[in-house]
């Protein structure tokens, strides 16, 4: 069999000659020198067309053991040692299999290796070779990408964006990047296909993908978005440009061996981009198992071959194979002519045999004898005797070994070969301990002299022998033999000591899993535990899997991958368990798969499989994972309770687990603080509890404190909220969100200048955010700076015209200015954007009430109450309308509801006093007004109300005192000024009364029904009876004043009529109002 191995690596003459020809084209010629120094001769020299700016590409492919590595190394030797090329070219040899051993991100499985990882490994190889100086564009692109991703992360953790699909919002910044990069351009993809593809992967619709893009585009500059959307293209091009620069000095030869490690389409296309941009002075030689030149289907995915991307003259491809599919079919036709073999069966033989003629011959004989191909090429349970597969494995392994033995050293040689087969990876010290050999190198060299399949430098067997020999040793009888178990026990004993030493001084399991040596040692231990027995292997794997699931998914995946060769030998329960782990491990694992995995792990916990010193930590991990599952299922209360239980079990030494749990609390707090569509924050006791725990467990995270500040502010714990925001700012003073939060708190406290400063700081940090501008608008509105308020709201709308808040704010400003139509338009726009937002409906109710459109006002208030029945304001507004209509009992009920919701607000108490006064319930009216004054003694309204009670009960001095207090508190309140005039007139102080009425008329600038009637009444009693009476008629006709409002004005006119000398026209006013009241009551 040694001869077979040698034949594999011979006679690659054609490939070597092609390499020499390709390399020769890269070397400089004498023509430029001749043209420069001998111009006449240079003109006679033949002209060479410059080569296309495209690399030469040599592609070698074939199954394992066909000599690809040897050929690639031979090509390296030609470039470095051949006299024609020596010293004239630079050479980079990159064995991806060797690179994989040193890099965990290459160990995640073929289909999970990321193109960015491949670029990084190639770049590192160039740096190690001493050529790192020319790749500044690549390293800068990496920095730019990190910056863009961080900006998106911060944007998602700021004011939650309701435009994002729920599934993507829960996945966070990594999830949105995954969605956008998975489908960077979909214009050519039919809508139905796009919807199906997106729904299959992340349950995101095509519209959701569009929303994701819009969100990221708002967060980044166009240049940043271009890099964020397709980072691989930018990184690959930058790396290729660096190679172009490097090759300007000397041509460069890049040799890739074992390329099958990284040849999945995404990785290959990205590396292909490097090749395309590396210029015409780089020669690429790639050896791997796949045919890269030809396009075709690979499983479920189509592969675009190199022949589609590179000129035919620059591409050379060669299959390295002894027994290909055609040869196998021909051989089977000769051995078993009466039993033709199907192409699928021939392909199965090719994969099973690894091209070894001896295996193919055995398989063909068994096929001729009638054995089913499935029984020959794969292990199957056999109740009696040995299966065909076992026989082939045994015969092949023994065939290797029979040719090797016959010397006295047989037992020692067999021990060494078994040890090499048992090892998961080459490790000289482990092999030394397994063999109890001090001079390991000499022993292996002696073996090499006798056996060609021993690769001393790599500390491993020939790949073909190793694969068959491991299958041979896994048979129960051989695995449990003293020879195998002694070697394995030595390995386990030494590895346990190594693991203990490597973990010395590291308390946190997460940190241990970041130590490459220790992580690899743990994988070795798992590997050798399975060689001991299935139970030993599974009992070691399960607790380690739990840890890896939490702290290092790549490592956990490697842990499961080492069991793949064992799967056919494992019990049904073990196979099912491992399949559940594989399904539940993924970052986007199906919730049913995650639930099944957690159920099984709970069962194993009850059996004591996670017991030991780390049991509390593992229990905490399982609880955290259960909480995460509940979170994904949108059972947020359950998730919070599970996290709280997990915290109780959390060991003190588990620093990373503490941070992870803090992050879980942070995520679930957001669902309570921003429920539903995530557009508006609200107070939640659960949200407060979750945010507080997040800030406590991971205090170094600024956004944990920010969320805590938001929920504290919603609970009116303003000082505590300020402290939380200040802590967030101290941790990250470049984030606008906590500054905006501070502005909101200061605004609520009436600390308007501090609020303005906080909003300005948020805007300075990020002037693309709409909400700080809206905050400024609210403050300016509260200060009466209406022009500034409108400008701020307009700026917020310009930045984000999909947000209802600034439109509502704009409506408030217009309403305060009496611009009712503009206010209605703004409120309507807010409602159109978010018809679940109650405040604009309340604003509409106020405007309609001011316009005398009472039925519309009632409808608007009712809608506001239906959307948010915890807000007192629309109930109070509804009471005012009922009162104006004379529907006093309904008004009382509405005011009572407003007071029940917020008994600290003075206005509903004052309004209740007005109704009691209208009903003649004066003692209750006085009590209600007194309560309003006790709640807010700076409010003029309850003093006015109290004065009216005293006026109507003829307590004129008390009435005058109350009205004067009201006027002092609000000198521009025309009602208070009018009432003070009434009280003075009834005390025969007519000149003073007229002075107050004149001030009242001047202050009465509002445009509602109430103001119109009072302006007309004031004109009448101040001597302009003709215009006053005309205005009353017009107001009654224009505004359709309700019963309650007419009654209020009539009461005042009747009081004026009681004067010893009633003002001119007063009797006519009384008559007009009485007639209007009778008519309205009849209509009502």
Digit-coded pLDDT (tens) for 958-1001: 999 999 999 999 998 899 999 999 999 989 898 999 999 999 99
Contact (CB, 8 A) for 714 and 683: yes
The larger pLDDT score, comparing residue 150 to residue 68, is at 150
| Banded model confidence at residue 349, pLDDT cuts 50, 70, 90 | confident
pLDDT in the model for residue 52: 42
Mean per-residue pLDDT for 523-530? 97
Taking residues 207-218, report their average pLDDT: 77
**Predicted confidence (pLDDT) per residue in 580-630, tens digit:** 999 999 877 889 999 999 999 999 999 999 999 999 999 999 999 999 999
> Which fold does the domain 733-834 belong to in CATH?
1.25.40
Alpha carbons within 13 A on the beta-carbon side of 620 = 26
pLDDT at 228: 80
Per-residue pLDDT, averaged over 95-115, amounts to 87
Q: What is the mean pLDDT of residues 790-813?
A: 94
- Is the per-residue pLDDT at 50 higher than 90? no
- Confidence at residue 4, expressed as pLDDT on a 0 to 100 scale: 33
pTM over 0.75: no
Minimum mean pLDDT range among 476-480, 504-508, 720-724: 476-480
pLDDT band at 401 (very low <50, low <70, confident <90, very high): low
What is the spatial distance between Cα 1021 and Cα 644, in angstroms, rounded to a whole number? 72
Torsion of CA 199, 170, 549, 587, to 10 degrees: 30
pLDDT digits (tens, 9 = 90+) for 693-733: 999 999 999 999 999 999 999 999 999 999 999 999 999 99
pLDDT given for residue 161 in this prediction: 54
CA–CA dist 179, 204 (Å, integer): 8
Contact 642, 630 (CB under 8 A): yes
Break the chain into its structural domains and give their ranges.
2-137+232-319, 157-228, 323-378, 386-474, 476-584, 612-730, 733-834
Q: Per DSSP, what are the bridge partners of residue 61?
A: 288, 319
Architecture of domain 612-730: Alpha Horseshoe (1.25)
At 1, the pLDDT band (50, 70, 90 cuts) reads very low
Q: Could you read off the pLDDT of 739-782 as tens digits, one per residue? A: 999 999 999 999 999 999 999 999 999 999 999 999 999 999 99
Residues in Cβ contact with 883 at an 8 Å cutoff, skipping those fewer than 6 apart: 891, 911, 914, 915, 918, 1044
453-490: burial string, b at 16+ Cβ within 10 Å, e else: bbbeeebbbbbbbbbbbbbbbbbeeebeeeebeebbeb
Superfamily holding 2-137+232-319: P-loop containing nucleotide triphosphate hydrolases (3.40.50.300)
Percentage of the residues of the chain whose pLDDT score is greater than 70: 88
Give the C-alpha separation, 134 to 137, whole Å: 8
Is 326 a residue whose pLDDT tops 80? no
Longest dimension (CA), the chain: 143
**pLDDT at residue 327, as a whole number:** 73
CA dihedral 572, 425, 103, 182 (to 10 degrees): -30
Residue 213 pLDDT more than 80?
Answer: no
pLDDT at position 39: 59
**158 token code pair:** 């700021």
Same fold, 2-137+232-319 and 612-730: no
Q: What is the mean pLDDT of the chain?
A: 86
Residue 45 in this model has a pLDDT that exceeds 50: no
């Amino acid at each position: 069999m040694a001869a077979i191995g040698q034949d594999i690596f011979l006679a690659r003459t054609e490939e070597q000659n092609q390499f020499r020809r390709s390399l020769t084209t890269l070397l400089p010629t004498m023509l430029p020198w001749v043209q420069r120094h001998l111009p006449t001769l240079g003109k006679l020299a033949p002209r060479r067309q410059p080569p296309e700016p495209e690399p030469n590409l040599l592609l070698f492919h074939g199954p394992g053991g066909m000599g690809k590595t040897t050929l690639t190394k031979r090509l390296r030797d030609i470039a470095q040692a051949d006299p024609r090329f020596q010293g004239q070219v630079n050479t980079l040899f990159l064995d991806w299999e060797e690179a994989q051993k040193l890099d965990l991100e290459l160990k995640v499985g073929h289909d999970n290796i990321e193109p960015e990882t491949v670029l990084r490994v190639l770049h590192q190889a160039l740096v190690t070779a001493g050529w790192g100086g020319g790749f500044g564009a690549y390293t800068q692109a990496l920095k730019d990408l990190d910056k863009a991703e961080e900006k998106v992360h911060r944007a998602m953790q700021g004011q939650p964006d309701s435009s994002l699909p729920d599934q993507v919002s829960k996945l966070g910044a990594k999830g949105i990047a995954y969605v956008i990069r998975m489908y960077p351009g979909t214009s050519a993809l039919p809508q139905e296909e796009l919807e199906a593809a997106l729904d299959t992967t992340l349950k995101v619709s095509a519209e959701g993908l569009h929303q994701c893009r819009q969100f990221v585009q708002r967060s980044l500059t166009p240049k940043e978005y271009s890099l964020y959307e397709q980072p691989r293209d930018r990184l690959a091009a930058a790396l290729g440009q660096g190679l172009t620069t490097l090759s300007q000095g000397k041509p460069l030869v890049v040799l890739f061996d074992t390329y099958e490690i990284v040849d999945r389409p995404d990785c290959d296309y990205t590396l292909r981009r490097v090749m395309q941009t590396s210029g015409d002075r780089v020669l690429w030689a790639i050896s791997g198992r796949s045919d890269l030149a030809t396009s075709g289907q690979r499983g479920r995915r189509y592969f675009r071959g190199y022949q589609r991307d590179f000129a035919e003259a620059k591409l050379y491809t060669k299959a390295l194979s002894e027994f290909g599919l055609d040869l196998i079919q021909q051989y089977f036709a000769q051995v078993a002519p009466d039993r033709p073999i199907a192409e699928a069966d021939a392909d199965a033989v090719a994969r099973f045999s690894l091209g070894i003629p001896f295996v193919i011959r055995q398989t063909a004989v068994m096929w001729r004898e009638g054995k089913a191909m499935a029984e020959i090429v794969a292990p199957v349970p056999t109740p009696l005797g040995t299966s065909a597969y076992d026989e082939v494995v045994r015969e092949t392994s023994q065939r290797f070994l029979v040719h090797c033995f016959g010397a006295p050293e047989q037992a020692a040689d067999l021990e060494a070969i078994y040890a090499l087969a048992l090892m998961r990876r080459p490790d000289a010290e482990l092999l030394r301990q397994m063999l109890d050999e001090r001079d390991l190198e000499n022993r292996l060299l002696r073996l090499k002299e006798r056996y060609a399949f021993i690769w001393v430098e790599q500390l491993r067997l020939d790949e073909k022998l190793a694969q068959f020999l491991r299958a041979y040793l896994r048979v129960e009888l051989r695995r449990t033999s003293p020879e195998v178990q002694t070697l394995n026990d030595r390995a386990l004993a030494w590895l346990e000591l190594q693991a203990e030493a490597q973990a010395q001084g590291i308390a946190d399991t997460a940190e241990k899993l970041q130590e490459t040596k220790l992580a690899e040692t743990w994988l070795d231990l798992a590997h050798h535990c399975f060689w001991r027995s299935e139970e030993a292997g599974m009992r070691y794997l399960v607790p380690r899997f739990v840890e890896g699931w939490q702290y290092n998914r790549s490592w956990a995946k490697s842990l499961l991958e080492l069991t793949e060769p064992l799967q056919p030998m494992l019990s049904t329960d073990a196979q099912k368990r491992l399949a559940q782990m594989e399904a539940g491990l993924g970052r986007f694992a199906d919730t049913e798969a995650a639930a099944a995995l957690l159920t099984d792990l709970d069962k194993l916990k009850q059996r004591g499989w996670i017991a030991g010193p780390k049991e509390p930590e593992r229990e905490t991990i399982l609880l955290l994972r259960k909480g995460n599952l509940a979170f994904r299922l949108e059972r947020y209360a359950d998730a919070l309770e599970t996290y709280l239980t997990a915290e109780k079990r959390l060991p003190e030494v588990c620093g990373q687990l503490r941070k992870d749990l803090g992050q879980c609390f942070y995520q679930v707090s957001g669902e309570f603080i921003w429920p539903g569509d995530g557009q508006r924050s609200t107070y939640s006791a659960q949200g407060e509890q979750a945010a507080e725990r997040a800030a406590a467990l991971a205090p170094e995270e600024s956004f944990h404190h920010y969320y805590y500040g938001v929920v504290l502010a919603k609970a009116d714990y303003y000082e505590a909220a300020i402290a939380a925001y200040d802590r967030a700012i101290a941790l990250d003073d470049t984030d606008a969100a906590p500054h905006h939060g501070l502005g909101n708190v200061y605004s609520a406290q009436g600390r308007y200048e501090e609020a303005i400063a906080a909003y300005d700081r948020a805007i300075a940090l990020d002037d693309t955010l709409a909400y700080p501008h809206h905050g400024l608008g609210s403050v300016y509105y509260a200060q009466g700076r209406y022009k500034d308020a409108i400008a701020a709201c307009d700026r917020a709308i310009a930045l984000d015209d999909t947000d209802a808040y600034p439109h509502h704010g704009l409506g408030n400003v217009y309403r305060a200015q009496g611009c009712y139509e503009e206010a209605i338009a703004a409120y309507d726009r807010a409602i159109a954007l978010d018809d679940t937002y109650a405040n604009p409906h309340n604003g509409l109710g106020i405007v309609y009430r001011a316009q005398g459109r009472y039925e519309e006002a009632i409808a608007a208030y009712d809608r506001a109450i239906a959307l948010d029945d915890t807000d007192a304001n629309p109930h109070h507004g509804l009471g005012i309308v009922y009162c104006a209509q004379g529907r006093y009992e309904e008004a009382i009920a509405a005011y009572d509801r407003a007071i029940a919701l917020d008994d600290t607000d003075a206005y509903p108490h004052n309004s209740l006093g007005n109704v009691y006064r209208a009903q003649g319930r004066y003692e209750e009216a006085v009590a209600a007004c007194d309560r309003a004054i006790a709640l807010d003694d700076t409010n003029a309204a309850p003093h006015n109300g109290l004065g009216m009670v005293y006026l109507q009960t003829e307590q004129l001095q008390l009435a005058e005192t109350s009205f004067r207090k009201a006027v002092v508190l609000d000198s521009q309140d025309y009602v208070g000024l009018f009432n003070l005039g009434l009280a003075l007139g009834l005390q025969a102080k007519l000149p003073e009364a007229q002075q107050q009425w004149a001030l009242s008329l001047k202050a009465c600038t509002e445009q509602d029904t109430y103001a119109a009637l009072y302006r007309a009444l004031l004109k009448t009693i101040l001597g302009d009876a003709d215009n006053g009476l005309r205005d009353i008629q017009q107001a009654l006709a224009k505004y359709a004043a309700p019963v309650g409002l007419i009654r209020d004005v009539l009461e005042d006119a009747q009081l004026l009529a009681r004067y010893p000398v009633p003002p001119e026209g007063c009797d006519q006013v009384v008559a007009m109002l009485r007639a209007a009241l009778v008519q309205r009551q009849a209509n009502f």
